[in-house]
């Protein structure tokens, strides 16, 4: 069999609105709104640069069922570019862009195969020789509860058999359980390569046969940090596949931290924050980040002042205003502690020590935690309006509240001395 190569991408989410960020900075909002389009352009460029034989897109091409026309045209134009370069494309749709959503009547090049709601198998040729088969099926609607993998049958044995599908493998992916299936059944189904979409973090679930999620092409929130892209797959004469990750994202999300240990002034903290942020961009990519301020140090007290967090954020945004690539600090989180060791302080035998001891005991006993939920939060739970908007608290949440209360008592009681 002739060697060949393809790129496997998924979850492009072209046209993601990035709601919530636009309020704060029009420039950042614009960068983000362009990012899913730019990442797709990078995908097309990668296909052409690596001279692959075909492209696989495993669903969630668009972000919403109401796919914007501009997103659809942009996608079509990219695939047209591939068609002009002799590269075929195979596309299935997932829960974000099911077939019953808005589908505009636009013309597709012959080299593009859009799989419908019935399973199909297409043979791929390289220089007149059949090398691979692609079997695929699209989501007819958003909430697909049935197992779509079962509907796909591999092509002829002598070809490299690919299953193209948007689905949720196993139960603990942290994603919606659409088109559920089990890893075992995919492994025993006779396919050489399952080109999957849905899970946004790239994962190779299995190697022989391959069961692969390439992840999304562009991170869209702080939950989707680090490099995002696609897999370049080269298949040799023996039908052995080799994988290479190709990053495509243009804006990268990061979570990082700064310790206040040994930082004596707010100026020095400002400088440290800028240094840390400026170290984030990788290969010229724009950055959106959150910075957590941690550790024990003399600045703790000043940082506890009301509004300190917002002021810090404002200053670092100003300091990074002209950075190129763009660095946008989305949030600063204060997780630092006072210089006093609370455990030792609880042994000093005064009122504060008593309060701290009581808080520690409460945090350690199930009955104590229940008491906080029942007594202290009772009014809140009884308020019908508040109740609607509140999620129930677990033990970790209550301990966090207790920790905050301890720090507040420390501030107030130490000051009085």
Q: Are the CB atoms for 168 and 205 separated by under 8 Å?
A: no
State the minimum distance, in angstroms, from the CB of residue 80 to Mn ion: 24
Which residue bears the tokens 């730019």? 38
> Looking at 58-66, 100-108, 116-124, 258-266, which segment touches Mn ion (CB under 5 A)?
58-66
Q: Which two tokens stand for residue 243?
A: 């994988």
Query: Within 10 Å of residue 7's Cβ, how many Cβ atoms?
Result: 28
> Looking at 3-11, 16-24, 250-258, 262-270, which segment touches Mn ion (CB under 5 A)?
3-11
Question: 261 phi and psi, to 5 degrees?
Answer: -55, 130
Which is closer to Mn ion, CB of 4 or CB of 62?
62
Which residues, 8 to 47, sit near Mn ion by CB under 5 A? 11
> Looking at 56-64, 103-111, 131-139, 302-310, which segment touches Mn ion (CB under 5 A)?
56-64
Q: Are the CB atoms for 258 and 291 separated by under 8 Å?
A: yes
Which is closer to Mn ion, CB of 132 or CB of 164?
164
Residues ≥6 apart with Cβ < 8 Å to 318: none
Q: Are the CB atoms for 51 and 74 separated by under 8 Å?
A: no
State the minimum distance, in angstroms, from the CB of residue 162 to Mn ion: 20
Question: 258 phi and psi, to 5 degrees?
Answer: -130, 135
Which residue bears the tokens 């699209």? 138
- How many residues sit in the footprint of Mn ion (CB under 5 A)? 2
Q: Is residue 97 near Mn ion by the rule CB under 5 A?
A: no
Burial of 382 (0-12, 13-18, 19+ CB in 10 A): exposed
Which is closer to Mn ion, CB of 11 or CB of 249?
11
DSSP code at position 348 = S
Cα(216)–Cα(206) distance, rounded to whole angstroms? 19
In the shown chain, the binding pattern of residues 147 to 176 toward Mn ion, with x for contact by CB under 5 A and - for none, equals ------------------------------
Q: Which of 60, 97, 111, 249 binds Mn ion (CB under 5 A)?
A: 60
State the minimum distance, in angstroms, from the CB of residue 147 to Mn ion: 19
Cα(142)–Cα(65) distance, rounded to whole angstroms? 8
Q: Which two tokens stand for residue 176?
A: 């919606």
Which is closer to Mn ion, CB of 149 or CB of 327?
149
State the minimum distance, in angstroms, from the CB of residue 200 to Mn ion: 6
> Looking at 29-37, 59-67, 285-293, 321-329, which segment touches Mn ion (CB under 5 A)?
59-67
Which is closer to Mn ion, CB of 97 or CB of 373?
97
Q: How many CA atoms lie within 13 A of 132 on its CB side?
A: 33
User: Which residue's CB atom is positioned nearest to Mn ion?
Assistant: 60
Which is closer to Mn ion, CB of 11 or CB of 373?
11
Which is closer to Mn ion, CB of 60 or CB of 373?
60
Provide the sign of the torsion angle of the four alpha carbons 397, 402, 408, 411, taken in this order: negative
State the minimum distance, in angstroms, from the CB of residue 59 to Mn ion: 7
Cα(343)–Cα(359) distance, rounded to whole angstroms? 11
State the minimum distance, in angstroms, from the CB of residue 96 to Mn ion: 5
Which is closer to Mn ion, CB of 160 or CB of 213?
213
> Looking at 24-32, 38-46, 60-68, 369-377, which segment touches Mn ion (CB under 5 A)?
60-68
Residues paired with residue 255 on neighbouring β-strands, in sequence order: 290
State the minimum distance, in angstroms, from the CB of residue 198 to Mn ion: 6
At CA 301, angle to CA 416 and CA 403, rounded to 5? 85
> Looking at 5-13, 118-126, 243-251, 315-323, which segment touches Mn ion (CB under 5 A)?
5-13
Cα(142)–Cα(178) distance, rounded to whole angstroms? 8
Cα(74)–Cα(323) distance, rounded to whole angstroms? 29
State the minimum distance, in angstroms, from the CB of residue 369 to Mn ion: 37
Query: Within 10 Å of residue 250's Cβ, how many Cβ atoms?
Result: 22
State the minimum distance, in angstroms, from the CB of residue 11 to Mn ion: 4
State the minimum distance, in angstroms, from the CB of residue 204 to Mn ion: 18
> Looking at 57-65, 121-129, 272-280, 371-379, which segment touches Mn ion (CB under 5 A)?
57-65
Which is closer to Mn ion, CB of 60 or CB of 249?
60
* Chain residues in the site for Mn ion (CB under 5 A): 11, 60
């Amino acid at each position: 069999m002739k060697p060949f190569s393809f790129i496997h991408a998924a979850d492009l989410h072209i046209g993601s609105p990035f709601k919530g960020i636009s309020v704060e900075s029009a420039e950042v909002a614009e960068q983000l709104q362009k990012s899913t389009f730019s990442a797709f352009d990078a995908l097309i460029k990668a296909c052409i640069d690596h001279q692959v034989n075909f492209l696989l897109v495993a669903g969630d091409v668009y972000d919403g069922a109401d796919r914007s026309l501009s997103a659809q045209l942009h996608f079509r134009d990219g695939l047209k570019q591939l068609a002009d370069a002799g590269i075929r494309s195979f596309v299935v749709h997932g829960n974000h862009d099911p077939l019953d959503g808005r589908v505009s009547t636009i013309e597709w090049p012959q080299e593009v195969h859009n799989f419908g709601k019935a399973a199909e198998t297409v043979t791929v040729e390289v220089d007149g020789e059949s090398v691979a088969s692609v079997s695929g099926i699209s989501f007819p609607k958003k909430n697909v509860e049935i197992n779509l993998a079962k509907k796909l049958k591999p092509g002829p044995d002598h070809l490299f058999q690919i299953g193209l599908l948007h689905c949720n493998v196993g139960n603990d992916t942290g994603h919606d359980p659409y088109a559920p299936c089990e890893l075992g059944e995919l492994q025993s189904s006779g396919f050489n390569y399952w080109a999957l979409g849905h899970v946004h973090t790239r994962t190779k679930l299995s190697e022989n046969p391959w069961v692969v999620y390439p992840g999304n092409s562009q991170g869209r929130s702080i939950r989707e940090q680090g490099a995002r892209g696609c897999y370049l797959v080269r298949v040799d004469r023996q039908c052995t596949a080799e994988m290479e990750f190709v990053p495509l994202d243009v804006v990268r999300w990061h979570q990082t931290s700064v310790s206040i240990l040994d930082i004596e002034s707010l100026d020095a903290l400002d400088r440290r924050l800028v240094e840390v942020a400026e170290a984030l961009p990788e290969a010229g990519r724009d950055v959106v980040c959150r910075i957590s301020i941690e550790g024990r140090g003399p600045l703790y007290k000043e940082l506890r002042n009301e509004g300190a967090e917002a002021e810090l954020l404002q200053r670092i945004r100003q300091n990074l205003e002209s950075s190129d690539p763009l660095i946008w600090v989305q949030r600063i989180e204060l997780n630092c502690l006072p210089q006093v060791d609370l455990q030792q302080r609880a042994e000093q035998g005064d009122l504060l020590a008593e309060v701290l001891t009581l808080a520690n005991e409460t945090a350690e006993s199930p009955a104590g935690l229940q008491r906080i939920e029942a007594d202290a939060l009772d009014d809140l739970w009884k308020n019908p309006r508040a109740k609607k908007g509140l999620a129930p608290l677990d033990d970790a949440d209550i301990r966090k509240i207790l920790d905050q209360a301890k720090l507040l008592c420390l501030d107030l009681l130490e000051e009085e001395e």
